Structure formats: C-alpha cells, structure tokens
A and B are shown apart, each in its own frame.
Chain A
Amino acid sequence: MNYLKRLSLLALLTFTSALASASTEAACVNDKDGRKGAKNGLINDLIKKSNDPLTAAFFTPASPEKPGTAGDHCISCSAAKPFSGMQKLIEGITSLTKETEPDKIKKECIEASLQREVVNTGYICYDQKAKAFQSAGSNTPCLNQQSVDYLHFALNKAVACMSQNRDPIDPRFILKKINNETAFNFFLAYSQGVGIGQLTSYPVRELAGWYQNGKFNPGNARYVLEEMAKNEDPSCDAFKQIAEKDLKDNPLKPQGKRTATMNRGAYCNFVSPGAGLSRSLVYSLGYYVYLRDQIVKPAVAKRSTTLTREKELINNLTLIAYGPGGTVEMKALIAKHRLGKNNASTVNSKLKSSSVYLKATEAKMRELLKIADPTAPINEAALRGDKCLAQL
C-alpha cells in the first residue's frame, strides 16, 4: 500500500513537472504581452535538434558534479543530450564552460529587443533547404526561454571569441547593430540582408574570398577567418570550425567562374540555428572588426593619431561605415565635422545628429530600453548601451 502511495505521488510529481516544463516551453519570450500572437515553436525544436558545436556547448552541463547546470544558459538540462560522434568535442567544450567567463550583454536586453516586431521574410531550414514564411503577427516564431538563452549564449560567446588577440569588440555596439537590423530574429532573410546581422554578398566575400572570371580573390578581411581558424581556445571551436570550412569552401554558392552571391540556396548557411547562426555571427562581427581596424582607425589616424584611442568615436564611426553609405559616408562625416580640430566628444555629438544610420540605431535602442524598463529614464549612458552590460 505504502509502495502504491509512493508510486502515485511520484506519478503526480512527474505529471506536474511535465506540465510546468510544457508551459515554460510554450511561453513565447519574444511575445511576452501576446501582442504578436506568436505560436509556432518550430524554431525551438530546430535549435534542440541542431548538431553543431555551438549548440552542443550550450547544452553541455557545466560540470560532471553538477549535471544540468551549464552556467546560466542551460535552463532545461533534461533536454541536454549527447551528440553522436561529438563526444571529444563536448569534452573540450566542457572545460570551457567551467570557466567563469563574464557575460557581456544582459539577457533582458536581448529579450527586450525580441519584443520589437520586425516584419520580414523568415526561413526555416530542413536538410539545408530553406522554406520561406512571412514573419509577422501570428506567423512570428514563438521563441521559448531556452531559445532566448541560446541566443544570449551565442552572442556573448561570439563577442568573446572574435575579440581574442585584438582590440576587444565593444558588445554594446554589436547589440545596437543587431537590435537595429533584426532584433535578434536570426532567421530573417531577403534581398537586402540575410541572418542576424543582415549580411549581403559583399562582406561575406571580403572575409571568405571569391572567384571571379576563374580567378580567386582572397578578400581584404580574410585575415579575420584565418586568425579564427588558428584559434586554440576550445571555447571557440564552433567559430573556428566555421572559419576552417569557409577558408576552403566559400559559403556563398555557386562558385567557379561566376561571382558567388548571396542567393536563396545559400540562406541556410546563414540563418539555420546552430551553424547558420554561428556563421552569421562570425561574419557580422568579423566585418565589424575589419571595418574598425582596417578602414575606420586609419581614416581617423590621418587627422589625429591620438583620436584612434577614443573608443566611442571609433565605434560610432564603425557603425556608420557598416550602414547605408558605407565607409564613404563615414569618411565624409569625419571631414565635415573637422575631426582633429574638433575633439572626440564634439564630433560624437555632431555624428548623432548628422548620421541617418546612427539616428536610426538610437531610435531602435530607445524602443529596446523602453521595453526593458518602461519607467527608467533614457539618458546618454542608457542609449550608449551601458544598462545592457552585465559588467562594466
């Protein structure tokens, strides 16, 4: 009798736990007030099924002693699973998750960004085939807490890995860029941009190189991939593998005599959960680093070498160079605002009113901040992204 009682209690506990888990999974973190009516959880399933190093690292428990507690990112470690043929990789990644690596961007800021509605075409990838859907209203995919944790993990990991052995990437500017481009809807793609950072062929070719008229052109930013391919930090394996692969085989198709372009056949390489997200982050952040270090800093140095150390100025100019008008607009604004004669602070404030792209990113940042905390005042520091940094 006692045994039966225990058994029924256990059954009840299991049932309750399953219900709780289901309701957690069903909650759309990207639609907290239900305004969008998002309900399709397919993306959540695809993330769980992704068989790539980034997803493996996310689901890997932090330590054997405490299974199911992979830092703060494994919220449903009953879902943690071994990936066939990846045991060695997982062992390597386990050592990294033990590190007390500080998060750079707070999860609540990514969640706030995800509340924004970005209407566009989204893609679901099955076996590398892209199926389009209109990501709007009730067709917006419903991202559960685990998927948002995954995005948070992926972004901070990419920022940390892409910052190694160089001037570190300021994650606030990456947050602003992604918030402006896709609001973390990494599955969006159309003719004007693909994936979380809305890449086009041009930045991808600069990093991976391309064939034209039968001749290989390495691209000016190929060194970013080459450096990542040499990275020996096991925590960066997800990005290292992308770099190694793409140095051999450009992710844009077709190749050969034709110039590789970002066509629909290549979308899954940039929008699929797992490898697609990893690749989009490598290229979006990699191009940012290239613009900052190879174009913006030398342009500033022509007018004043000391101003190349002004991080906010350099990052604002890099954002401008990464937006409409590109590096031409950035250089013209440096000249117009008499950088060198005017100091960094003066030029920064002038840029905020003269650059259309900076104004747009600031407006979207304002939306994010208002969603994150409707009562908090939005001041300069908040707009800079300071409130979204976990550690300053």
Chain B
Amino acid sequence: MLSAIIIGAFLSTNAFAQAKVADFYKESKASLELAKKEKTFGKKLEQLKKLESSFKTTLKEYEEKMPDEGNDEEKEVSLLFYTLEPVFNMNSTEDCVKTEHAIKADDRMGRGEEAKLTPRAEEALNWVKVLCKK
C-alpha cells in the first residue's frame, strides 16, 4: 500500500514536473542570444532547431502523461510553439517578409489592425529579426 502511494506520488510529481511555458521563454531567450552571435542564417537556424526539438519532446511528454485531454499548462506551451512555427519553417532569408506577416496576421486575427502584439508574437518576431539580420 505504501509503495503504491509512493509510486502514485512520484508519478504525480513527475506529471507536474513538465516544462512550462515560462521555461520555454527562458530557453528561447537563451537560444536567441546564442543565435545573435552567429554570422550565417544556417548557424542561427541550428539554435532555433534545438529549441524546436525541445518543444516537440515536451509536447510529446504531455500527450503521453495525459492521453485523453491536455491541461492549461500544456496549452500555453502549445500556443508558444505554434506561434513560433512559421519561424521553425523558415528556409532562408527569402522567407522573412511572409513569416513576419504570418505571425502578425495570426496574432491580430479578430483583434484589429493595430492591436498590441502578444508576448508570444513578440518572441517569434524577435527570432525573425535575428534570423533576417544580414
């Protein structure tokens, strides 16, 4: 009985130990700093790909831990991930304008022409800025 409680408590603790959106903002900012030091688009992209991979791993873990329905914490991580998705899909600096447009379009959808951008969109645009800097 005691071991069942210990295992339950461990699993429960483990479930709550999933990375949260704040962790991803931290990771994104750290990766962004590293990317800023790189000279080429390709090298900057490598930093971004590490971040994408980290997101995917965590989102997969969330799904494994909660197979029927995600919780709000997971949704917050998802929202940041999908806001960054157009940046993850960039292939070259040729994609800069359309990526910036896609991020702003989505973020302002239904909120108006000049609505204040969300922190998620600001983060994605920070990446566009760094990747597109020549």
Binding site for B on A (CB under 8 A): 191-193, 200-203, 205-206, 212-213, 215, 217, 220, 261-262, 321-329, 331-333, 335-338, 341-342, 350, 357
- Find the B residue at minimum CB distance from A336: B70
User: Sorted from nearest, which 5 A-B pairs have the closest CB atoms?
Assistant: A326-B106, A324-B110, A192-B112, A326-B109, A202-B105
Q: A325, B104: Cβ atoms under 8 Å?
A: no
Q: Which of B97-129 contact A (CB under 8 A)?
A: 97-98, 101-102, 104-115, 120
Q: Is B33 an interface residue (CB 8 A)?
A: no
Further contacts, 15 of them, CB under 8 A, given A200-B108, A261-B113, A332-B82? A202-B105, A202-B108, A220-B102, A321-B109, A324-B110, A325-B109, A327-B106, A327-B109, A328-B120, A329-B79, A335-B74, A337-B69, A338-B63, A338-B67, A338-B68
Q: Pick the contact of A324 from B74, B105, B109 — CB < 8 Å?
A: B109
Chain A nearest CB, measured from B81 CB (Å): 8
- Which residue of chain B is the closest to A202 with respect to CB atoms? B105
B residues within 8 A CB of A206? 101, 105
Residues in A whose Cβ lies below 8 Å from that of B74: 335-336
Contact B109 A331 (CB under 8 A): no
Q: Cβ of B39 < 8 Å from any Cβ of A?
A: no
Q: Which residues of B contact A328 (CB under 8 A)?
A: 79, 82-83, 85, 106-107, 120
Instruction: Looking at the assembled complex, report how far the CB atom of B109 sits from the nearest CB atom of chain A, in whole angstroms.
Output: 4
Contact count band on B: 20 to 34
Say yes or no for B75: interface residue by CB 8 A criterion: yes
Cα separation A203 to B98 with both chains bound (whole Å):
13
Cα of A333 to Cα of B120 in the assembled complex, Å: 16
Cα-based distance from A377 to B85 in the complex (angstroms): 43
Check B79 against A341 for contact (C-beta < 8 Å): no
Q: Is A335 a contact partner of B113 (Cβ separation < 8 A)?
A: no
Give the chain A neighbours of B59 by CB distance below 8 A: 335
With A328-B82, A328-B83, A338-B68 known as contacts, the answer to whether A322 contacts B105 (CB < 8 A) is no
B82:A203 contact, CB within 8 angstroms: no
B75 in contact with A336 (CB, 8 Å)? yes
Q: Which listed residue (A329, A333, A341) contacts B68, Cβ 8 A?
A: A341
Give residues 48-89 of B contacting A (CB, 8 Å). Answer: 59, 63, 67-70, 74-75, 78-79, 82-83, 85
Establish whether residues B105 and A203, one from each chain, have CB atoms under 8 Å apart when the complex forms.
yes
**Contacting pair A335 B78 (CB below 8 A):** yes
CB-nearest residue of chain B to A330 = B82
- Of A206, A322, A332, chain B has the most CB atoms within 10 Å of the CB of A332
CB-defined contacts of A213 to chain B, threshold 8 Å: 97
Q: B105 — which chain A residues lie within 8 A by C-beta?
A: 202-203, 205-206, 326
Measured CA separation A195–B113 after assembly (Å): 14
Are A323 and B101 in touch, CB under 8 angstroms? Answer: no
Q: Nearest chain-B residue to A261 (Cβ)? A: B113
Decide: B69 and A338 in contact? CB cutoff 8 A.
yes
List the A side residues contacting B75 at CB < 8 Å.
Answer: 332-333, 335-336
Specify the chain A residue showing the minimal Cβ separation from B102: A220
Q: Which of A217, A326, A335, A350 contacts B110 (CB 8 A)?
A: A326
A362 to chain B, nearest CB (A): 16
Give the residues in chain B near A333, CB-CB below 8 Å: 75
Alpha-carbon separation in the docked complex, A335 to B67 (Å): 10
A261–B113 CA distance with the chains assembled, in angstroms = 8
- Rounded to whole angstroms, the CA-CA distance of A277 and B89 in the bound complex is 36
**Cα(A21)–Cα(B129), bound, Å:** 63
Residue from A191, A217, A321, A357 in contact with B97 in the complex, judged by beta carbons closer than 8 Å:
A217
Contacts of B70 in A (CB 8 A): 335-338
Contact A342 B112 (CB under 8 A): no
Chain A residue nearest to B78 (CB atoms) is A332
Partner of B113, one of A200, A321, A325, A337: A200
- CA–CA, A13 and B41, complex, Å: 81
Closest-CB distance, B82 to chain A (whole angstroms): 4
- B111: contacting residue among A261, A324, A337, CB under 8 A: A324
